[in-house]
Amino acid sequence: MNIIVCVKQVPAKDAPLAIAADGTWIRESDIGFEMNEPDSYALEEALRLKEKHGGEVVAISMGPERVKQTIKEALAKGADRGIHVADDKFFALDPLGSARSLAAALKGQKFDLLLTGLQSDDHGFGQTGVLLAELLGLPHATIIMQIDVAGERMKLKRELEAGWFQWVELPLPAVLSIQSGINKVRYATLKGIMGAKKKEITTISRESLGVSVEPTQKLERIYVPQKTKKTEFITGTPKEAAAKLTEKLKHDARVL
């Protein structure tokens, strides 16, 4: 079973974020980066499927040169090779532009499964997997909690709302968006880290793909919400005060 996993590099959770001068993204200097946590669950699931069914796991990521570190982390954990779609301005792409670029980079790659995390920790759109499936003409399912492969088909457990689950059946190949918590993510071993140095990482310039990335949405501004405090005393009889409080909770605070 050949599996491709999309892994994204995002700012580390403890990174001190500052808004860039143009107000459209964060200032990336002097902060750490790490593998997107939801993608790490997708990678782990791919590695487990490989251990059970054999085959190859390929990690693909898009971004500047530093993204190779995230690909190397995937290789250290057990992925067989990596694909780096080089683009210094990838953060400016909307989900459709990202999906088009990744789909073009995967052209000619033979795979049975394409896995993504449910969403990214930075933008959080949760659309890349869905759009990739449409662009590649493949069946797709989201919020996957369990994968059982049998021959050319697989049974999938999907998480729904209010504690409900759903079983669906799909043919291979397919695209799946993996739910966080589906498994326990492994750490890279010292042997794996040393072995990753010998594994192949193919670099492809995103511009060389000839893909139109005309944005379908525009990010106007990133800003830190302003915190304000306001105190108001409600007077009158208990009945009048209760009525005023109810109105304010409904129309001002909008919690009722």
For residue range 183-217, what is the model confidence (pLDDT) as tens digits? 999 999 999 999 999 999 999 999 999 988 888 88
Residues 128 and 13: their CA atoms lie apart, in Å, by: 21
CB atoms within 10 A of CB 136: 18
- Is 19's pLDDT higher than 90? no
- Is 256's pLDDT higher than 80? no
- Split at pLDDT 50, 70, 90, the class of 60 is very high
pLDDT confidence of residue 178: 97
Residues 64 and 84: their CA atoms lie apart, in Å, by: 9
- Is 229's pLDDT higher than 90? no
Which amino acid, residue 122?
A: D
- Note whether 232 and 249 are within 8 A (CB): no
- Is 251's pLDDT higher than 80? yes
pLDDT confidence of residue 173: 96
The domain limits of the chain are 2-209
For the chain, what's the residue count?
256
- Determine what percent of the chain is predicted with pLDDT higher than 70: 100
| Among candidate residues 65, 100, 61, the one with its CA nearest the CA of residue 84 | 61
pLDDT confidence of residue 91: 82
State the CATH architecture for 2-209: 3-Layer(aba) Sandwich (3.40)
- Taking all residues of the chain, what is their mean pLDDT, rounded to a whole number? 92
- pTM of the model as a whole: 0.84
